[in-house]
Structure 1
Amino acid sequence: MPLDLASFLSSSGITLSLFMGGVGLIVAIFLIRNVIKQPVGTELMKKVSGAIQDGAKAYLNRQVRTISIISIGLALLLYLMSLAGKVHTSMPVGFLIGAVCSLIAGYIGMKIAVLANVRTTQAAVEDEHKALNVAFNGGAVTGLLVVGLALLSVGLFYFAMEGIVSKDDPKHGKIVVDSLVGLALGASLISVFARLGGGIYTKAADVGADLVGKIEQGLDEDDPRNPATIADNVGDNVGDCAGMAADVFETYAVSLIGALLLGTLSTSTNDSMREVALALPFLLGGFAIIGSIFGVMWVNFRKGSASQLLMEGVLVASLFSAIVYWPICQSIIPEDGLVMTSGTYSGTDLFLCSLVGIVMTFAIVLITNYYTATKYPPVNKIAKASQTGHATNIIAGLGVGNMATGLPVTLICAAIWISDSLAGLYGISIAVMAMLALAGIIVSLDAFGPITDNAGGIAVMADLPSIVRERTDALDAVGNTMKAVTKGYAIASAGVAALVLFGSYFLELEALLGEVVEFSLKEPKVIIGMFIGGLLPFIFTALSMDAVGRAAGAVVSEVRRQISERPGIMEGKDEPDYARCVDIVTKSALREMIIPAILPVIVVIVVLAIPALGHIALGGVLVGTIVTGLFIGLSMTAAGGAWDNAKKMIEDGSYGGKGSEAHAASITGDTVGDPYKDTSGPAINPMIKVTNIVAILAINVFL
């Protein structure tokens, strides 16, 4: 390839990628305008949608206030540490940038979702395909916003630090990239709060609505007589839309920063090699945004079944990325290869690493789809087991969840081995960036789910014809599978991204100590650390499950009180006090999210502060957290998604249909699976990464 192209990509690659990030935001704005101009339907539809919007706004406003207090406190702590010379003065600024951008990604994504839901319902009055397009475009806003914002925030802060830090400083490169750790920490902590708070909210409302509405009173899903039904619909947005957006924003930003950190630490003595190593991850992310835009266009302009079109959109984005990555890698990598401390790697080596990430993404999507979609054996097995009772439904679901870890973990192992063989730890970081570069289209699928779910709820509460509910139910079933698929993707990418962060941890240790650091299994400290780290995801999920149980209990009590004190509600004469349930679950979620969210921070600091454990044991903690967290996260999300779709399969007429014993058992399974797939399982992702990022920051303070 021409030398001038290689020179341009290495010197201006980051600028080019930021331009493509800007294009992603422009397309997102275009899609927002497209969604908003769609008709909103009847006055009753507007009223129901308005109640959902008000509830979502009330929750997010309170969440922002709560998180802001914690964030400002942590930023002040980082500022004091910078005054003491423990961290660079830019770190608190980076922390606030990461926190604010993560909040923005979640807030705008949720805002568009609650605007798109009623428009999707109205589109379903006319045609299912039109409803698909409205819902998907609403989801695509979140997808493109997340990747565009993540790329721009990291890139612009990087450029700012390049200008601030003196080029004459021998540690110029390391100071610049270390400053980005603050941004990663801000994004990670907000992500944990958003995932936990949103997850506790959505499942407390869902479980509370189901226990009293469906099981005790025999009401259908989204029956307007259920006092918790608005809170349930609000929860779909704050959990699956705002929470997922913050989660993937954080994973993307953290993985990009991890790749930059590895690139800097592995090329510290060669500025030209460092320039190449830093530009490549940005270029992969930038061009993949264009691929995601093509994927969105494909879904809009093609006809076919919803599940087929959405999968085709992912395939189009993947193929585009795979095609453009080849000339990028061949152009930017010098003919003699990229020289790093761990070895010299060719353009072909790094292209193959990126291909590993793309293939792994598509494979994870297909595998999770197999375990959670109604047309495949695992979900059918759970539905069939429901015929013999509640216990057999639960047993079958747990079995499916455990089995669903096998293929993804095998794939992750293969991806790590191949990438490491090709280009060492930097190769693994490139594979992770290629995975996360597809986040634009993947998050679009996830945000599609709550929009279609809400659309169905609005159809019921607005008393629209049954054909409308049938159309929204068909899209909702696809949306449920897409939510499970994207959670599997998020957990798998988080697991591999955490490995990159662990690599950054020990390279940072070696730079600080000036010696080779080994985490030998002969060392008891490492084993102790692995046990502590392995325990952390179990305690974390236990706390979050308990939180859902307590919050759901409060909702159940309130729903029972309203039905008992106001008999007119069940007769359809009185309107329930929806706002009361929204208020109860909002307060409960925000109160319950704090302890689980700060748990990983406390564990890291305590382990590092104990002289008998220290940085060696902390390395074991990080490995243990990654391994057990990955298994728990995959198992919980797959089991929850399978339980949910087994219930929908029975409601569609299989194994006795609605009102049968099998249906009652499937509702129990779905209720148990709700906090599995929407609270504890997904919240494992940011918890793993927060543990690693706090470790990288903490060793600079304690050593």
Structure 2
Amino acid sequence: MFSEFLPVIAAIIAVLFMLFQIKSNILPVSEGNERMKAISGNIKEGAMAFISREYKYVILFVVIVAILIAVFIDINTMICYIFGSLLSMLAGYVGMRISTASNARCTNEAMSKGLPDALKVAFAGGSVMGFAVTGFGLFGVGLVYLIFRDPATLMGYSFGASSVALFARVGGGIYTKAADVGADLVGKVEEGIPEDDPRNPAVIADNVGDNVGDVAGMGADLFESYAGAILSAMVLGFALFGDNGIKFPLVLSSIGIFSSILAAFIFLRKRQNSPQSALMFTIYISGAIVLIASFILSSMYFGNMKAAICVVVGILVGILIGFLSEVFTSEKFNQVKRIAEESQTGAATNIIAGLSSGMLSTVGPIILISIGILVSYHTMQMYGIALAAVGMLSITATTVTVDAYGPISDNAGGIAEMSGLDESVREITDELDSVGNTTAAIGKGFAIGSAALTALSLFVTYTETVNLDTLSLLDSKVVAGMFIGGMLPFLFSALTMNSVGKAATEMINEVRRQFREKPGILEGIEHPDYASCVDISTKASLKEMIIPGALAIIVPLFVGKVFGPETLGGLLAGSLVTGVLMAIFMSNAGGAWDNAKKFIESGEEGGKNSPAHHAAVVGDTVGDPFKDTSGPSLNILIKLITVVSVVCAGLFI
């Protein structure tokens, strides 16, 4: 009986630890001088204005869908749907509010005390997002299970989390990339001013974008993955192993929270001088505890080590995919250096090199995912695949912490630049930020791998619900569905990329207008109008996120109702394959372009303001929506399509 209440208890402890971090390690730290406070206040104001307006749209969408669920499915699923939506929004709101409160504090610690203290603030700020995601996520899963006791009904919770995640990722991604592209193309390329220069009218919008895209958007993404993986394992586990199949993923996820808390305590108690070693240690220690626990729980619930093997496979695949992402996106390796070298001959060759690198980067992760699927299935059938996804995401609190730490460090560097602080302060924040790029690669690895495994296990849940024993490639309905599903990630990416382009065009025109009408801005004697750029990004992203978000829900419903469950099954299979490939390709190509630019800015291939640098900025601009808008959103798309199909399966029979 205790094991059923353990997830709720662990979730409450996670939230209490989150509050402890806020009260003890963030709020008591000074935000610095008045200039630093003012800049941080502008970033916070822009971020909270965006998320408040975004949530108004999302709440309206949630209400409409909830009514439809109540009418066509049942009330219990509707309640779970609303609960999942609200907790996902709450996690994003809390995480972003604290990240914007941590940035100036990180800058001030770098200025007054040095790297270890700045690292501590950035880590504490990131941990709030990490424990908000897992605390609220597991609390919801545990509570709705205690109330309804029906794993199938609980998929409504995953549906709600997925709905919010897609809008948050798409909206946040459009916002941040519109600002980033506008700031880079006009500021860096046309006017030759540095990144985060206070003379750039888009600089505040760019820093706001780091939070709405890489904190709130990323948090909603991982919230959905975390909840979806656990629920998928519960549904399949109950069908194959009864109550023990439900208890194992719940207890393992609870232990994952405790292990992440322990790792964070160890990190915060010791003065850290090497950011990368310290952050990687938290991942290793929390992962090791989960691995040990998985063997004990596997023996306890199943009398063998099979479940533990699946968990080990999931964690290893996630780490290895993250390592491969770093190989293709880090300036320490040859792929990024090759793109920087190709920049010597112009933007065209830079883009060709980035595209080829992104395509090549799909090979290793797909082989690893395939091996993970084969080993997990051989060990415990489809339940094993679901457990591999749970294993990947069991230390989500830690992986989100080290991921959300990056935008805080990035903002801290921007505040240092805009406040005119000594160059040594920017050197510290840049060191913290560069480590964030490495740790983010691991987060991407877990996100991509878990998306593939979770969507696959949900796909099996769908086939069982609609009584499909096989999907024959000789059936024209199935083949037609596969082609439609394979096309969806391309259509979705086209819509989101086009949205970034339109929003960026507005931003570029506004920045050019200000430079043209107020020549004193570049001379430093007139102040830019930051608010107008923030407003452009906000309006454009909210308007443009609606169609891609609705697409993921409307298409599977239409196909399933009009053409039947076989065609929808083919659609799910097609979207899974192309969606995972596109997500890997776009994320890694974008990351490679970004770091090739930074590699040149470090003094290689001609350094800043050289022809190679201008070409690399163009490549990075192309890659921005790849890695921060379309690529990450595809992970959510393939899961949301599948969750919608599972929840609404009864309508297609």
The TM-score bracket by the shorter chain reads over 0.9
Answer yes or no: is 1:550 the counterpart of 2:502: yes
Alpha-carbon shift at residue 302 of structure 1 (Å): 5.7
Answer yes or no: is 1:288 the counterpart of 2:288: no
Partners of 1:19 and 1:365 lie apart in 2 by 31
The residue that corresponds to 2:571 in the other structure is 621
Checking the alignment, whether the CA contact within 8 Å between 1:315 and 1:362 is kept in structure 2 is no
Answer yes or no: is 1:41 the counterpart of 2:27: no
Q: For residues 5-35 of structure 1, give each alpha carbon's deviation from its aligned partner in whole angstroms, at most 9, with x where no partner exists.
A: xxxxxx3312123222222222111111211
Alpha-carbon shift at residue 615 of structure 1 (Å): 0.4
Superposition misfits of 4+ residues, deviation over 3 angstroms = 297-300
Q: Which moved more, 1:443-452 or 1:383-392?
A: 383-392
Partners of 2:78 and 2:497 lie apart in 1 by 32
The residue that corresponds to 1:206 in the other structure is 180
Partners of 2:174 and 2:311 lie apart in 1 by 36
Distance 1:591 1:140, change over 3 A: same
Partners of 1:285 and 1:69 lie apart in 2 by 32
Count of aligned residue pairs for this structure pair:
650
Q: Residue 197 of structure 2: SS of its match in structure 1?
A: coil
Gaps of 5+ in 2: none
1:605 to 557, 574, 580: 557
Partners of 1:314 and 1:322 lie apart in 2 by 12
Q: Residue 90 of structure 1: SS of its match in structure 2?
A: helix
TM score, norm. by length of structure 2:
0.97
Alpha-carbon shift at residue 236 of structure 1 (Å): 0.3
Give matches, 1:260-409, under 5 Å: 260-266=234-240, 273-300=241-268, 301=270, 303-333=272-302, 335=303, 347-409=304-366
The residue that corresponds to 1:643 in the other structure is 593
Match of 1:327, as an amino acid?
I
Partners of 1:263 and 1:316 lie apart in 2 by 28
Answer yes or no: is 1:29 the counterpart of 2:15: no
Match of 1:678, as an amino acid?
D
Q: Which moved more, 1:41-50 or 1:692-701?
A: 692-701
Q: How many percent identity over aligned positions?
A: 44
2:164 to 185, 190, 193: 190
1:430 to 371, 387, 390: 387
Match of 2:158, as an amino acid?
A
Partners of 2:258 and 2:14 lie apart in 1 by 7
Partners of 1:246 and 1:119 lie apart in 2 by 25
Match of 2:261, as an amino acid?
I
Distance 1:67 1:236, change over 3 A: same
Match of 1:323, as an amino acid?
I
Distance 1:298 1:644, change over 3 A: farther
Q: For residues 448-491 of structure 1, give each alpha carbon's deviation from its aligned partner in whole angstroms, at most 9, with x where no partner exists.
A: 11101101100011000011111111212222333343223212
The residue that corresponds to 2:481 in the other structure is 529
Q: Residue 305 of structure 2: SS of its match in structure 1?
A: helix
1:152 to 115, 119, 139: 139
Checking the alignment, whether the CA contact within 8 Å between 2:8 and 2:142 is kept in structure 1 is yes
The residue that corresponds to 1:7 in the other structure is none
Partners of 2:647 and 2:8 lie apart in 1 by 27
Distance 1:158 1:254, change over 3 A: same
Checking the alignment, whether the CA contact within 8 Å between 1:265 and 1:507 is kept in structure 2 is no
Partners of 1:101 and 1:122 lie apart in 2 by 32
Q: Residue 242 of structure 2: SS of its match in structure 1?
A: helix
Checking the alignment, whether the CA contact within 8 Å between 2:393 and 2:446 is kept in structure 1 is no
Q: Residue 337 of structure 2: SS of its match in structure 1?
A: helix
The residue that corresponds to 2:631 in the other structure is 681
TM score, norm. by length of structure 1:
0.91
Answer yes or no: is 1:505 the counterpart of 2:505: no
The residue that corresponds to 2:114 in the other structure is 127
Partners of 1:485 and 1:657 lie apart in 2 by 29
Q: Give RMSD over aligned pairs.
A: 1.3
Match of 1:541, as an amino acid?
S
Partners of 1:19 and 1:600 lie apart in 2 by 34
Checking the alignment, whether the CA contact within 8 Å between 1:488 and 1:638 is kept in structure 2 is no
Q: Residue 466 of structure 2: SS of its match in structure 1?
A: helix
Partners of 2:607 and 2:118 lie apart in 1 by 26
Match of 1:440, as an amino acid?
A
Q: Residue 648 of structure 2: SS of its match in structure 1?
A: helix
Q: Which has the larger radius of gyration?
A: 1
Q: For residues 644-664 of structure 1, give each alpha carbon's deviation from its aligned partner in whole angstroms, at most 9, with x where no partner exists.
A: 111111111112211211111
Partners of 1:17 and 1:76 lie apart in 2 by 29
Alpha-carbon shift at residue 215 of structure 1 (Å): 1.0
Partners of 1:131 and 1:376 lie apart in 2 by 28
